[in-house]
Amino acid sequence: METRENQLTSQESLKIITDMINKTKTSINQSSFHLLFWGWLIFFCSLSEFILWKFTSYATPWYVWFFVVPGVIVSLVYGFAKGRKDSAWTYATGLYVWNWIGFLFAALVLYFISMKNMESFGPFILTLAGMPLLMSGCILKFRPLIIGAFTFWIFALAARFGGPVVSALSTPAAMLTGDLIPGYLLKRKNSHDTV
């Protein structure tokens, strides 16, 4: 782009402004990584807990959830390292990141609140997780994530009112339909957009 001083017509000025706004439209490069990372981690933790509970005599199947702790560290380190390399930080990026950091703290609070009655934790965390998922879908203008949020809430009801087996399988089912499928669709969309 050259520098033309004071020779622009109104239409040319308007076109420059419109073009530049279009070039800063929401693209959050990291978004699909975190969705897929957490999708698979929670999917395997919840499914492993179900298998250990249903098909083995292992006394403490919930120990598998300790994998979430290194998961948080990996996610934070990756996000921080990638964020430092980003050449621009948009308002949408900030909203997206704080949306999920807020969820992380809310999930921690919910864990401490539910410690004496962990059976209620599953439906509550699915209900809570639906919100940042819905917000992410709105920020990225990506409908599968919005639909994903609603599937989380449907599986939260199933986890609360279904039997023990339905309840135990609700979390992996929610992760598969509400997080992993939209996550892969988003990854495909991002790779198409950057070609």
Partner 1 sequence: MTQFKDLDPLLHSQLRLAVVSLLMNVEVADFSFLQEKTGATSGNLSIQITKLKEAGYIEVTKKFSGNYPQTLCRITPLGRQKFVDYVNALKEYLNPEKNI
Question: Which residues form the interface with partner 1 (CB under 8 A)?
Answer: 1-6, 8, 10-14, 16-17, 19-21, 23-24, 84-85, 87-91, 94
CB nearer to partner 1: pick between 13 and 191: 13
Tokens read off for 45 = 């933790």
CA separation for the pair 56, 127 (Å, rounded):
29
Residue 67 or residue 98: which is nearer to partner 1 going by CB?
98
Q: Which is nearer to partner 1, 29 or 164 (CB)?
A: 29
Q: How far is the CB of 130 from partner 1 (least distance, A)?
A: 28
Q: Which residue has the tokens 């809570």?
A: 128
The conformational region for residue 6 under phi > 0 = left, psi -120 to 50 = alpha, else beta, is: left
Nearer to partner 1, 69 or 195 (CB): 195
Q: Do 168 and 49 meet the contact criterion of CB atoms below 8 Å apart?
A: yes
Question: To the nearest whole angstrom, how small is the minimum distance from the Cβ of residue 92 to partner 1?
Answer: 9
Give the shortest CB-82-to-partner 1 separation in angstroms.
Answer: 12
Question: How far apart (Å, rounded) are the C-alpha atoms in residues 91 and 73?
Answer: 25
In this complex, which beta carbon is closest to partner 1, that of residue 5 or of residue 193?
A: 5
Q: How far apart are CA 113 and CA 123, in angstroms?
A: 14
The nearest distance, CB 119 to partner 1, in angstroms, is 43
Using CA atoms, how far apart are residues 129 and 15, in angstroms rounded to an integer? 41
Count the alpha carbons within 13 Å of 117 in the hemisphere toward its beta carbon.
Answer: 4
Q: How far is the CB of 165 from partner 1 (least distance, A)?
A: 48
